[in-house]
Chain A
Amino acid sequence: MEDYQVLIGLEMHCEISNTKTKVFSSAINGYSEEPNTHIAPLDMAFPGTLPVVNKEAIKLALKASMILHCEQPEYMYFERKNYYYPDLPKGYQITQETKPAPVGSYGYLDFDCKGKMTRVRINNIHLEEDAASSDHYPTFSTIDYNRAGVPLLELVTEPDLRSAEEAVAFLETMRSIYQYADISEADSRKGQIRCDVNVSIMDKDKDPSDPKNWGTKVEIKNVNSFGGVRDAINYEIERQIALKEEGKYEEMQQQTRRWDEDTFTTIYMRSKVDAIDYKYFVEPNIPKFKLSSTWLEEIRSSIPELAPERKEKYEKVYHLSEYDATILVKEKNVSDYYEKTIALGADPKGAANWITSVILGYLNKEEMDIKDLYLTPEMLFDLMNMVKEGKISSKQSKEVLNKVLELKKEPAVIVEELGMKQIGDDSLIRGIVVQLLDEHPDLIEDHRKGKNTFDFFVGQVMKATRGQANPSMTANIIREEMDKR
């Protein structure tokens, strides 16, 4: 490994999930477990149907183009990519080749990989339609057209990434951008993200900025998770190094392989000479149209605060640790939840503690999205207030939270049902304290000699009140009563 450097380029496909309808038809753009329920005649390519461009999809694609510092085209065009496959009902995909011009060309993105800022150049980003999805069984296959025509953004990077870690960090940053910019849920569990990975190796001492020094490109198709991207890259690097060491690297042709999730290997599909000729030409049913500068400005100004800016705010304004801030901004839904809680008036540090230490743990365990959590930001705020106002102790509050999640009842109801009222009655606590001190004069003496027996008394009061005594009130009373003796 130390003799080589690695060049990695990514093609990241991400469905745009935040449009109401598909990119060229009026069918609903939505994830559904029920197959073949979101379909318009065009999605199955019935004769005579025509594509009509979804303006919202173009807007979101342009937004992504701007975030990636790409150039936007003067005119929008679409092209046909012609090939036969059962999941492609028209026999062609409407897409944008790099010519005349896709929604974005020649940009870059700076991203954080383990604390180091890294820049990757973006060759282009383009808008296209997704294919139908198919499932294969031993004697038959099924096709689900729900996905056919869902808007898809394909992002193509230059081979600027140097390791699997960098590739994954880049993909995570992109996912965060798609989520924060309200372009897509970018959920790989729903199959919304798919990647093709290009890997080549070259000698360590050569200059990677000169394409002449590059090795032979191997494209790995259809890697559907970030973990898969990492494993596929690492496998491919080792495979290529082994070929070098065996002196067989020079024989290797430029080729396409696929990632096999069962064997954790890449499998040969075809060499460059067998590459499919897609016979691109401009889609005649979508007239080219000019992008007005006012519309572009409108889109540019609609780009919201993204994760890095929120993180900075959390550290500088809310004084959170870098660690907590990083955790909170990782998923937009979590960050939104946090911001909502704060907007209600919650203490930023307290809310951050709740989310990072308790709620995220619960979500992880349950494999759940924070959107689906029963505890709303309003409930969390109420719970934090009960502690602040001394109605319940902080220890009790954790128990309340668990019950809220378990029983799906509001915090106030749970507190009522468990009879969890904090005891703030001075005379009641004082009575217990006086009795305790009477029973243990020796410990008062120890305390005076500098030995810590104070906590023992607090503990005993808590025991006697089943944890319901207000802790700070208890401490004050013990101190007062000791001083009296």
Chain B
Amino acid sequence: MMEKGLVELHEALKEGKVTSEELVQESLKKSKEVQEKYNAFVTILEDAKAGEVTDDILSGIPYGIKDNYSTKGILSTGSSNTLKDYVPFFTATAISNLNAHGAIPVNKTVLDEFGMGGTGTTGHTGIVRNPWDKSRMCAGSSAGSACAVAAGVYPYATGSDTGDSIRKPAAYCGIVGYKPTYGMISRYGLFPFASSLDHCGVLTRSVEDASIVVDAMKGIDKNDMTSWDSHDMHLHDSLTKDVKGMKVCTIKEIADPSMYPHASKELKEHLENFHKTLEHFKELGVEVEEVSVDTTLLNAEPSVYVVISCAEATSNMSNLTGISFGPRAEADNYIDMMKKYRTEGFSPLIKRRFVIGSYVLQAENKERYFHNAQRVRRLLVNKWKELFKTYDAVVLPVGSGPAKKFDEDADMLDKNTAVLEEHLQIGNFGGFPSITIPDGFIDDLPVGINITGDCYQDIRVLNLAYALESTMPYKNQIAKEVH
């Protein structure tokens, strides 16, 4: 049953064809299989109980929680040794909201340590494997969530997205990844990476399911000053495939094959597939145009992300000292205690980011790096805002092809495809609603397309995705191991 969508599961529950208990048991059984094969979970909640089935679509249906959401009484590690035994005493608002709708959490999923990675290989419990090909990564940081949803453990799992941590793993795993407008879902209880870029969101196998889940997760929260009131916005009820007359654009400098004279076979196919997908939009009556954006501005984007995200991260994670929580280190004085805890607890990748973050904030560097990065962030956001005056969305390919092999280091930037790999981060710079859906296969491995719109235009973005999804056969697809 777990390969089905939410509405179908809900109907089956209502009609008594299946019980919540059966769904929970099936999901737990699959969790163990997926754990065995792909290592997607930090914790499996063996004692998860069935829930009452109400008129709420989510009631009684299992789901997964990324392990950087604080869950009361349940181990919440952020996939880091620094919190390997941390059991919080409060639950993140987004999770409380889901649970209030009767949703049943069955596991906590692996991420790149505190969300600070794009490979799914840096969590303290080991690497997460791609369910389509075990020799490949899921991308990250929501690696475990993407893996489990693609493998059919449950219809959805929560994710978080600071650069592309929901939307890239979704593409690599052949599923849907949606992060709504900044502040639509409260971040209270989400372990922070870079607060001005962090978004909560969800990984599902259909646009409809994404709309149902975010309807339940969202809402203004007195504990998060950046959250806003969206009670008049009904994402699921507003879904329509009628997108005739809407306008989207793609960006030549990112998506046009002519920009990559030395493109690999994979990249060529990926971009061709992307342009083929744009034809589907045209068939739906959506106007598609190609625009040009200054490459100097675009090429600055990856560095801007590194500077801002590392700066905020180094500050956000200064609370991790091992003094009041986390495994306290033994040393002669508090400074050595903190040093030892942090040196032993964090992975090398994170430490590298802390060094960058501290460097760019130092008095003598702050203007040159941090403040300039903020300026370029604003320029990029303004450019996108300008596009949104004419277009309902910017549509771009996700990454430079299908999931990468573990021996390719995805966190090292290839100068030639850097912007193609990293452009989703602009959605975080502006807090824009952004969704990735699968749009084809290359060598039997899924690839994705991304649709990003203006702030508060989540319904438009979802409808474009919903309509486009209906023209392709990938809705509710489950990963089939091909290698």
Interface residues of A (CB under 8 A from B): 41, 44-53, 80, 82, 84, 86, 89-92, 141, 277, 279, 281, 284-287
Contacts and interface: CB of A to CB of B under 8 A. Distances in A.
Contact of A92 (B88, B191, B194, B318): B318
B362 A51 contact: no
Interface stretch (B142-150, B220-228, B252-260): B220-228
B457 interface: no
Contacts of B315: 80, 82, 91-92, 279, 281
B180 interface: no
Contact of A44 (B195, B318, B324): B324
Given A50-B223, A52-B223, A84 B338 contact: yes
Contacts of A52: 222-225
A51 B223 CA distance: 7
Contact of B90 (A46, A281, A286): A46
B225 A53 contact: yes
Given A50-B223, A89-B324, A82 B187 contact: no
| Most chain A beta-carbon contacts within 10 A, residue among B69, B76, B78, B361 | B361
A91 B191 contact: no
Contacts of A89: 319, 323-324
28 contacts: A44-B324, A44-B325, A46-B319, A46-B325, A47-B78, A47-B83, A47-B319, A48-B88, A48-B190, A48-B191, A49-B188, A49-B223, A50-B225, A52-B225, A84-B338, A86-B334, A89-B323, A89-B324, A90-B319, A91-B319, A141-B334, A279-B315, A279-B362, A281-B311, A281-B315, A281-B366, A285-B224, A287-B225
Nearest to B227: A50
B169 interface: no
A277 B189 contact: no
B90 A285 contact: no
Given A46-B70, A82-B315, A86-B334, 18 more contacts: A44-B324, A46-B88, A46-B90, A47-B70, A47-B76, A48-B69, A48-B90, A48-B187, A48-B188, A50-B224, A51-B225, A53-B225, A91-B317, A91-B321, A141-B334, A279-B358, A284-B195, A285-B226
B189 A48 contact: yes
B223 A284 contact: no
Given A52-B225, A284-B312, A287-B225, A82 B83 contact: no
B370 interface: yes
B412 interface: no
A279 B89 contact: no
Nearest to B361: A279
Contacts of A286: 225
A91 B370 CA distance: 20
A184 to B, nearest CB: 25
Contacts of A281: 311-312, 315, 361, 366, 370
Interface string B188-210: 11111011100000000000000
Contacts of B363: 277, 279
B255 to A, nearest CB: 31
B217 to A, nearest CB: 15
Contact of A48 (B92, B222, B321, B358): B92
Contacts of A44: 324-325
Contacts of A279: 315, 358, 361-363, 366
Contacts of A91: 315, 317-319, 321
A86 B89 contact: no
Contacts of B190: 48
A32 B83 CA distance: 31
Nearest to A289: B225
Contacts of A141: 334
Nearest to B224: A50
Contact of B187 (A50, A53, A80, A277): A50
B128 to A, nearest CB: 21
A234 B183 CA distance: 54
Contacts of B324: 44-45, 89
Contacts of B325: 44, 46
A48 B94 CA distance: 12
A123 B311 CA distance: 29
A281 B363 CA distance: 11
A84 B223 contact: no
A109 to B, nearest CB: 31
Nearest to B357: A279
Nearest to B360: A279
Listed from nearest, the 8 A-B pairs whose CB atoms lie closest are: A91-B318, A45-B319, A279-B361, A284-B196, A284-B195, A48-B189, A48-B70, A47-B191
Interface string B331-343: 0001100100000
Contacts of A46: 70, 88-90, 319, 325
Interface string B82-98: 01001011101000000
Contacts of A84: 318, 321, 335, 338
Nearest to A134: B334
Interface in B348-374: 358, 361-363, 366, 370
Contacts of B78: 47
A378 to B, nearest CB: 42
Q: From A45, A50, A89, A90, name the one whose CB has the most chain B CB atoms within 10 angstroms.
A: A50
A348 B318 CA distance: 59
B42 to A, nearest CB: 15
B293 to A, nearest CB: 26
Contacts of B191: 47-48
A281 B374 CA distance: 11
A40 to B, nearest CB: 10
